[in-house]
């Protein structure tokens, strides 16, 4: 059985941006309440916010993060624009 040495120095870890290798993974800090870049902590799926340095970070696809945490489209990464249609006005019959 082999044992691997785990380095405990997390200060040398570089921040991970939301454009992580084009994979579509987004990170949301629950304390900052916005989409942020993160710093990995150890080898597990634990991340620290690069702004407030807390570990209260969720990750997922852009669609899931925006719908669950109700992040507006203007904040964070740019997404595909959807065409807006004007509401139809009620037509009244001419008398």
Helix (H, G, I), strand (E, B) or coil at 61: strand
Give pLDDT, residue 11: 52
Q: Report how far residue 36's alpha carbon sits from residue 77's, in angstroms, rounded to the nearest whole number.
A: 10
Query: Of 55, 68, 74, 58, whose CA–CA distance to 18 is shortest?
Result: 58
Give pLDDT, residue 85: 47
Q: Are 47 and 12 in contact (CB under 8 A)?
A: no
Give pLDDT, residue 51: 94
Give pLDDT, residue 15: 73
Query: Of 39, 26, 40, whose CA–CA distance to 75 is shortest?
Result: 26
Q: Are 25 and 45 in contact (CB under 8 A)?
A: no
The number of C-alpha atoms within 13 Å of 47 and in the hemisphere containing its C-beta is 24
Low-confidence stretches of the chain (pLDDT beneath 70): 1-13, 17-22, 75-95
């Amino acid at each position: 059985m082999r044992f691997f040495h785990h380095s405990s120095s997390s200060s040398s870890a570089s921040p991970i941006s939301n454009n992580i290798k084009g994979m579509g993974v987004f990170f949301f800090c629950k304390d900052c309440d916005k989409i942020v870049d993160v710093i990995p902590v150890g080898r597990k799926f634990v991340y620290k916010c690069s702004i407030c340095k807390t570990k209260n970070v969720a990750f997922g696809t852009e669609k899931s993060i925006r719908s669950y945490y109700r992040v507006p489209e203007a904040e964070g990464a740019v997404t595909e624009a959807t065409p807006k249609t004007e509401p139809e006005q009620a037509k009244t019959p001419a008398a």
